[in-house]
Structure 1
Amino acid sequence: MLTCLVESEGLKNRRMHIPGSFSSPSESRAVADLNERSREIFRQIVESYLTTGEPVGSRNLSRILTHPLSPASIRNVMSDLEAAGLIFAPHTSAGRLPTETGLRFFVDAMMEIGDVTTEERARIEAQMKAAASGHTLETALTEASTLLSGVSRGAGVVVTSKSSNVRLKHIEFVRLDTTRALVVLVSEDGSVENRLLDLPAGLPAGALVEAGNFLNARIQGRTLGDLRQAIEMRREEMEKELDTLTAKLVEAGLATTVGPAESRQLIVRGQANLLDDLKAAEDLDRIRLLFADLETQTDVIDLLSRAEGGEGVRIFIGSENKLFSLSGSSMIAAPFRDGSQKIVGVVGVIGPTRLNYARIVPMVDYTAKVVSRILEQGR
């Protein structure tokens, strides 16, 4: 799978290049051999596609090139670009469109990234803070998803752990019967979550209250992961203060809430945007396939989670990922962090391959930073 990594800082007017982004040495050499005239014609073909979704022909190109060329000369260049695998003709005697390889080359090596304007920054921050103030974290993340869908022709998406970045206010153990109890988690944002817990055999009658008191004395606005780490670091203190079975109950309760089975949450907004500006019947078929992809939440979460692997924005184009191999879609995503600088989720945009990458990349990047600041400040 090919990915493009854009550093979080200094996005303005940067060109992106990742060595080895092409699938074969011959493709890399063919691209490297492009002269300035070929690059200019290729740029116009890509930018026309990103704007209109339509093929562009030699006659139209001859009118818009900085250094005018005859249609015949342009056709010769287009033939070379097609041989290099960068463009193709969707129909006989039609204009040309970029291939996925061509889009990757454009994004990696030619595209100039703009910046988020002062007005856009203020609007993003105001909307996010308003959504976070007095509401749950999910409300703020939903707003991030909605906001990104509004600046693209795609769907805004967010994936995060349901509880990994939520700060706790209270924990309580509630006995259901002799073998089971509920772990009740009350967060600072007012949300409540219950998890089922198997009780150790022979547990003393007051152990549930004692375990809850022990944890509540150490919560101090910590996340579940932070609390588990703090208890682990003070294991000797816990063993002195609690009997063996109650200590096991504390450990079991924390393991239940932050174990590997913890589910991930996917938020998608703006799917209706994908129905706008359809060009042909095959576009509708493609969007239907993308809708089916988005319904397969596990696969979408898995793809988004791959953007957690490092700093900055990552771009996945078309069949570079098997999830989008049929719908021919792209994804632009960036990770966000909690107060301890731990990556706890991803925000992004999914849409057609003709997304406005130069505009959406900095918007996704800045939105991820705003979400991180909100988490750092405890909303």
Structure 2
Amino acid sequence: MPGVLPGPEEIDRGMELNERGRKVLEEVVDTYIQRPVPVGSRLVAKSDKFNLSSATIRNIMADLEEMGFLVQPHTSAGRVPTDMGYRYYVDALREKGFGMVEEKFLASLHKSFKDTQDDINRLLNDVTAKVSSMSHCLAFAVPLRADNTTLNRVQLYRYRGNRTVAMLLTNEGLVTSKVLYTDFGLSQRDLDRISDYLNSEFSSCTIDEIKAVVMEQMSREKELADVLITNAMQICREALVFPDCDIIFSGVSELIGLPEFADQVNSIARAIEDKHTIIDILDGLNGGMQAEVLIGGENPESGFRHLSIITSEYRQGDRSLGRVGMIGPTRMDYSNAIPLVEVMARYISSAI
């Protein structure tokens, strides 16, 4: 199941890494993240982290390959991390923590966007653009889902003929407007009375809660003696139908411009353009503000097998409002990417 990822205890079963093995694996991953060419034992041995010969390093790397953490693409080449190697590396990063990296990112976001917090969609666009430029990966945000927001106020306006304009403002700053077609003639005074009724009945209720009440009321429409209430329920039902969720992207060119994707530009672009697939992947995750990481083959969709997704929810209390995250190569710089995604979520949650 997407989102239920193997932890260190599952990866290590029957193949526990000793201290030297862990350090060599970490060095190979760090080196490959910085420069995507196979890593040789001689290069690892030059690191000041080791006091080991190149031959000893080579034997350790051979063991790591046998255990599934590394792979040798060509007989005469060095080795590169596998998805399993990256998973071990990411889980080890979590155990160590990210130190002051998160606070540095958070301060940067507060400084950059203190004037855009009243417009949630502008904020999401600005934050994803900033994060993409900082990470050189694709950043994304799933905007507020209207169904998850709470109603602040609804106002109805008479338009042309039998048309009515419904404007909804949520407590999270989402503003939507919709033209409704009604088969009953209502004056502006009637619409004002309906607006007052809906606001008094449903203010601070979530859209989902309002829909449930409206459907229950409509199911016993004949019992509603007040024609105005009946009209209010019909208008409310029509006004609360929203389009499918969209995704805000920033940094597509950053992603497809990476050297490992030079011969995969079209397939990577197609995968990113399929927003419904991305939404399906995100919907299968567990949720929460701690970043979830899908690495390569852990992604359930074949188009994402060469990519990693890091994502976190932004929330209001215990209620999920949307998601932010990054998509990049499996060799993305997880030590910066994971805290950056978590900070994105924390910052947007605090701004709403």
TM-score, normalised with respect to structure 2: 0.82
Pick closer, same or farther for the CA change 1:108–1:255 going to 2, 3 Å. Answer: farther
Report the equivalent of 1:193. 177
What letter matches 1:147 in structure 2?
A: K
Q: Say which of 108, 112, 125 aligns to 1:127.
A: 112
Pick closer, same or farther for the CA change 1:267–1:204 going to 2, 3 Å. Answer: closer
Partner Cα separation in structure 1 for residue 125 and residue 177 of structure 2:
19
Tell me whether 1:367 sits opposite 2:344 in the alignment: yes
Partner Cα separation in structure 2 for residue 269 and residue 301 of structure 1:
16
CA contact (8 A) 1:336 1:344 kept: yes
Matched position secondary structure for 2:247: strand
CA contact (8 A) 2:289 2:342 kept: no
What letter matches 1:348 in structure 2?
A: G
Deviations 1:294-353 (A, max 9, x none): 111111122233446234111111121133545511111110113x54111011111111
Partner Cα separation in structure 2 for residue 322 and residue 157 of structure 1:
19
CA contact (8 A) 1:158 1:346 kept: yes
Tell me whether 1:264 sits opposite 2:245 in the alignment: yes
Report the equivalent of 1:246. 228
Partner Cα separation in structure 2 for residue 249 and residue 320 of structure 1:
50
Tell me whether 1:357 sits opposite 2:346 in the alignment: no
Q: Say which of 263, 283, 306 aligns to 1:328.
A: 306
CA contact (8 A) 1:160 1:264 kept: yes
Partner Cα separation in structure 2 for residue 71 and residue 19 of structure 1:
28
Report the equivalent of 1:14. none
Report the equivalent of 2:71. 88
What letter matches 2:348 in structure 1?
A: V
Report the equivalent of 2:296. 318
TM-score, normalised with respect to structure 1: 0.77
Tell me whether 1:144 sits opposite 2:144 in the alignment: no
Unaligned runs of 5+ in 2: none
Unaligned runs of 5+ in 1: 6-16
Q: CA RMSD in A?
A: 3.4
Q: Within 5 Å, give how 1:201-280 maps onto structure 2.
A: 208-217=191-200, 222=204, 225=207, 228=210, 243-258=225-240, 262-278=243-259
CA contact (8 A) 2:145 2:322 kept: no
Deviation of the 1:171 alpha carbon = 2.0
Pick closer, same or farther for the CA change 1:44–1:184 going to 2, 3 Å. Answer: same
Matched position secondary structure for 1:350: strand
Report the equivalent of 1:8. none
Partner Cα separation in structure 2 for residue 305 and residue 193 of structure 1:
27
Matched position secondary structure for 1:29: coil
Q: Say which of 27, 41, 60 aligns to 2:43.
A: 60
Matched position secondary structure for 1:126: helix
Matched position secondary structure for 1:264: coil
Deviation of the 1:289 alpha carbon = 2.1
Tell me whether 1:165 sits opposite 2:165 in the alignment: no
Q: Say which of 97, 116, 131 aligns to 1:113.
A: 97
Q: How many residues align?
A: 341
Pick closer, same or farther for the CA change 1:305–1:120 going to 2, 3 Å. Answer: same
Matched position secondary structure for 1:347: strand
What letter matches 1:29 in structure 2?
A: G
Partner Cα separation in structure 2 for residue 105 and residue 294 of structure 1:
26
Partner Cα separation in structure 1 for residue 298 and residue 120 of structure 2:
32
CA contact (8 A) 1:184 1:193 kept: yes
Pick closer, same or farther for the CA change 1:292–1:153 going to 2, 3 Å. Answer: same
CA contact (8 A) 1:174 1:183 kept: no
CA contact (8 A) 1:170 1:219 kept: no
Tell me whether 1:347 sits opposite 2:324 in the alignment: yes
Report the equivalent of 2:87. 104
